[in-house]
Structure 1
Amino acid sequence: MGRAQRNPSSASSAVLVCGPARSGKSEWAERLAHESGRPVVYVATAREDPEDADWTARIEAHRQRRPGHWSTLCVPTDLETALVEHDGSDQCLLVDSLGTWVANLIELDDTQWRERAERLEAVVEGCRSPLILVAEETGWGVIPAYPIGRTFRDRLGNLIRRLGPRCASSYMVTGGYALDLSLLGEPIS
């Protein structure tokens, strides 16, 4: 990307951008993709639902913000395959978002989920193309009252924790700032 890679122990050139809802994480990721100077493939994990006006408006806001020359892939579940198929090109791949991908796969049992998460980790680690991953931070509030909410929070939190050290840099976007965690923090083993 346009910025220096920060994590010398990382085998990947991927960048992780995480933060709470409405923090600006997608805009920061889009800025990094633009700064890469490469054609951008926006890998959208959202499923469109014409019955949900709010969700449709959110998807449209993302579309309107992106440059028209960026290409878009709609990949609600088969993210690993899409990344492998587009790896090695001169393109920058921007995945928005891992939280939506996790939600789309919430019905998988623990073994199936673990296999998918491990496959994604391997793809991220081996990716040769510039790759930017956007992820929501969900575990900072009240413990969800329902099992499916706890499963979602735990799966996404664990995925982010495992991907962060595999990425060249990780950003936390909050309070109007993008903080480079790779410079400010120490990876947890």
Structure 2
Amino acid sequence: MQNPPEISKTAFVTRVDSTSNRHLILVTGPARSGKSEWAETLAMRSGKPVVYVATAQVDPDDLEWRSRIEQHQQRRPCEWQTLQVPITLAVTIQDAVQSTCLLVDSLGTWVANFLDQNDEAWEITSVELLECLLNCPADVILVAEETGWGVVPAYPIGRKFRDRLGTLCRRLGAIANPVFLVTGGHVLNLSLLGSPLPDS
């Protein structure tokens, strides 16, 4: 069996220490914490044309989910471009233009769209995303859910989702700067307050 591709440690260091004008920002937090609003604020502050990358798959029969999506849409400036990208997130990031700011909301829904992949295929998919982020010329703001602070999910699919998203966020936290945690009505800059794990 062929081993999945790896990202070199030098690639991670290069991205973090880059002196270019591009930014890779991770905004994470629990449900209803305000993480999307903070990410939108950061996108507006970038001063660049914003491309909102929505990763959710829209189910026309799910009225509650449609209502959530509409709330997000009403909050965004009308001049922002919106792309529906439930699967090909890496390609979208790879094709981004340097003068733009991509706001990806959210990683959790993107991860959920790949739960049918086995572990080897998922590793390839996630590494591809990380490599595209390392080489993206545009600003990228990623919104991610914190799912591991509650009880252990009762079903295997829930545990798979939690573990995959948690691992992806940890790997992203090693290359993003800054990393924000939004919780309890406050925004915390983890890049200033915390210390990266040694193996990151």
- TM bucket normalised to smaller: over 0.9
1:185 to partner: Cα distance: 0.4
Residues 39-70 of structure 1 deviation map (CA, whole Å, 9 limit, x = unaligned): 00000001111111110000010000000000
2:48 alignment partner in structure 1 = 38
Mapped to 2, the partners of 1:124 and 1:149 lie a distance apart of 26
1:48 corresponds to which letter in structure 2? V
Does the CA-based 8 Å contact 2:29-2:181 persist in structure 1? yes
Mapped to 1, the partners of 2:94 and 2:108 lie a distance apart of 20
Query: So what's the TM-score if we normalise by structure 1?
Result: 0.93
1:146 alignment partner in structure 2 = 155
Match of 1:180 among 149, 164, 189: 189
Mapped to 2, the partners of 1:11 and 1:165 lie a distance apart of 12
Q: Give the 3-state SS of the residue equivalent to 1:128 in structure 2.
A: coil
- 1:63-78 equivalences under 5 Å are 63-78=73-88
Q: Give the 3-state SS of the residue equivalent to 2:181 in structure 1.
A: strand
Mapped to 2, the partners of 1:137 and 1:46 lie a distance apart of 17
Does the CA-based 8 Å contact 1:17-1:171 persist in structure 2? yes
Mapped to 1, the partners of 2:14 and 2:177 lie a distance apart of 7
Aligned length: 182
CA root-mean-square deviation: 1.4
1:180 to partner: Cα distance: 0.2
**1:59 and 2:65 aligned:** no
Match of 1:162 among 168, 171, 176: 171
1:85 to partner: Cα distance: 1.2
Question: Rg larger in 1 or in 2?
Answer: 2
Match of 2:16 among 2, 5, 10: 10
Mapped to 1, the partners of 2:85 and 2:14 lie a distance apart of 30
Does the CA-based 8 Å contact 1:98-1:135 persist in structure 2? yes
1:10 corresponds to which letter in structure 2? V
1:125 to partner: Cα distance: 1.5
**1:100 and 2:109 aligned:** yes
Mapped to 2, the partners of 1:176 and 1:162 lie a distance apart of 25
1:109 alignment partner in structure 2 = 118
Identity of aligned residues (%): 56
Does the CA-based 8 Å contact 1:16-1:171 persist in structure 2? yes
**Closer/same/farther in 2, CA of residues 123 and 11 from structure 1, 3 Å limit:** farther
Mapped to 1, the partners of 2:90 and 2:84 lie a distance apart of 13
Mapped to 1, the partners of 2:73 and 2:119 lie a distance apart of 33
